[in-house]
Amino acid sequence: MTETGDRSDYEGRVEVHDREVLRAARSVIERCSNPAAMQAEVVAAVRRNELWRGEQCLNLLAPEAPTSSTVRALLGSEIGTRAAEGHIGPVNRWFAGTRHIDEVESLCMELLKRLFDCDYAEHRLCASMIGNLAVYTALARPGETIMSLAQPVGGHSSNRSDGPAGVRGLRIVDIPVDPEDLSVDLESFAEVARRERPVLVALGASMTLFPYPVSEMATVVGEWGGRVFFDGAHQLGLIAGGQFQDPLKEGAAVVTGSGGKTFCGPQSGVMVWNDDRLTGPLAEAVFPTLAATHQVNRVAALAAAACELLAFGRPLMAEIVANARALAAALEACGVPVLGGHRGYTDTHQVIADVSTLGGGLESAQLLARANVITNKNLLPWDRRENWERPSGLRIGTTEVTRYGMGRAEMMEIADVIAAVLVERRAPEGLADRARALRAAFPRLQYCFD
């Protein structure tokens, strides 16, 4: 590589990130007279986000949830500066001095077991995606076949060729899906599965409206010793709150999920199972294979969030689903087409709108963000994988607005703002005040001990 002399010149470099955004950061750094000023810029950007996204927006991103002040305080706690490689217990650790770390981690693990009514829980996953890689590491060998959901029907990269399953060298066959309500086509599944004999079938998706036929699918793959693995990244809180199917009780061998989606804890991963024979392989796939230091501050925050779900999970999750159904119905009434209407729209925190006739997913999400309403573009079943940048759908989640105490009346108001932007084509900036006022009317986080 040749030295260009001008280090601010990005031309000619290979960059996957947006060049303009990186260029702006560079000029901010160059304007700073010293590193302390640079640090102040970092802090200021965090504060700007806290003000805008934290206090002035209606955050309807399905993979987000607000955390209690206790959970947030624990994320910044001293214990996050301590190293704790290994399994719980003095002999299992590489380092001495882990007495209180063992207390925190064992509390977290036992709370998770209690919450999910299961025999085993894993707390050391810095992301749910790492949990999925742990499952593929423990329960499948390179070259073996798995089945999973394709991205246009809601599947996540972690179970596909461009994620952990692909990195593990697994052969991936699609689970057949009915595109109308994103449900598994059981008859075709049985036929394909009996032909392909997958060792694992990964269920659960990023776009997810209704339960899956876990027990029927587990029975089919049980014919050759295959297993169902439930990737409950999105539904983890709903499962904990008893508002979604319980995959372990229905025959899934292992469940993974995100700490920061409906679970309302720190962004991270959880893994739970019941079968003694899986304990060695799964726990050892986490350590020593995929995690060394695993952020004990995050483990503490996860434990605190589990306590909130033990206390408030049922009413909170029931309200999240009721709000999602109300929002879906209100959107459709305002002229925004929504998937799943023939089945009551949704059994989760998600609403999936088809905005292909309203400008498409990218434009819709960008317009709404200018109105302080945060959603995301999403592939729909009839989109091609290559249309990732400009898909037909919009994914909307009700976790955050519900935890701030909003109910059915507010869902009507939110639908009205969304329709004003997408259907009536009003200027989004003119609606930002309405979004800001609605958010400001619900300042206090609910369903917590704070």
Ligand X SMILES: *Cc1c(COP(=O)(O)O)cnc(C)c1O
- Residue 118 or 127 having the CB closest to ligand X: 127
The DSSP secondary structure of 192-234, one letter per residue, reads HHHHH--SEEEE--SS--S---HHHHHHHHHTTT-EEEEE-TT
- What are the counts of helices (DSSP H) followed by strands (DSSP E) for the chain? 15, 14
Please give the structure tokens belonging to residue 153: 């029907």
Please give the structure tokens belonging to residue 172: 């991936």
Angle at 41 between CA 40 and CA 47, to 5 degrees: 90
Q: How far apart are CA 164 and CA 239, in angstroms?
A: 24
- Residue 128 or 243 having the CB closest to ligand X: 128
- Residue 309 or 358 having the CB closest to ligand X: 309
Provide the residue count of the chain.
Answer: 450
Residues engaged in binding ligand X (CB under 6 A): 63, 127-129, 132, 156, 158, 204-206, 231, 233-234, 258, 269
Residue 146 pairs in a beta bridge with 172, 200
What's the closest the beta carbon of residue 290 comes to ligand X, in angstroms? 12
- Residue 258 or 323 having the CB closest to ligand X: 258
Could you tell me if 41 and 28 are in contact, meaning their C-beta atoms sit under 8 angstroms apart?
yes
Could you tell me if 437 and 394 are in contact, meaning their C-beta atoms sit under 8 angstroms apart?
no
What's the closest the beta carbon of residue 36 comes to ligand X, in angstroms? 33
Please give the structure tokens belonging to residue 440: 């400001």
- Residue 122 or 231 having the CB closest to ligand X: 231
What's the closest the beta carbon of residue 155 comes to ligand X, in angstroms? 7
Q: Single out the residue of 351, 146, 117, 396 nearest to residue 255, CA to CA.
A: 117
What's the closest the beta carbon of residue 210 comes to ligand X, in angstroms? 15
What's the closest the beta carbon of residue 63 comes to ligand X, in angstroms? 5
What's the closest the beta carbon of residue 162 comes to ligand X, in angstroms? 13
Sign of CA dihedral 29, 78, 54, 157: positive
What's the closest the beta carbon of residue 267 comes to ligand X, in angstroms? 6
Q: How far apart are CA 279 and CA 187, in angstroms?
A: 33
What's the closest the beta carbon of residue 139 comes to ligand X, in angstroms? 16
- Residue 226 or 232 having the CB closest to ligand X: 232
Please give the structure tokens belonging to residue 178: 């009915």
Within 8 A by CB and 6+ apart from 308, the residues are 68, 71, 264, 447, 448, 449
**What H or E segment, with its residue span, contains residue 397?**
strand 393-397
Q: Single out the residue of 361, 9, 291 nearest to residue 125, CA to CA.
A: 291
- Residue 206 or 346 having the CB closest to ligand X: 206
| Identity of the residue numbered 221 | V
- Residue 205 or 422 having the CB closest to ligand X: 205
What's the closest the beta carbon of residue 422 comes to ligand X, in angstroms? 24
Q: Give the DSSP letter of residue 259.
A: S
- Residue 68 or 267 having the CB closest to ligand X: 267
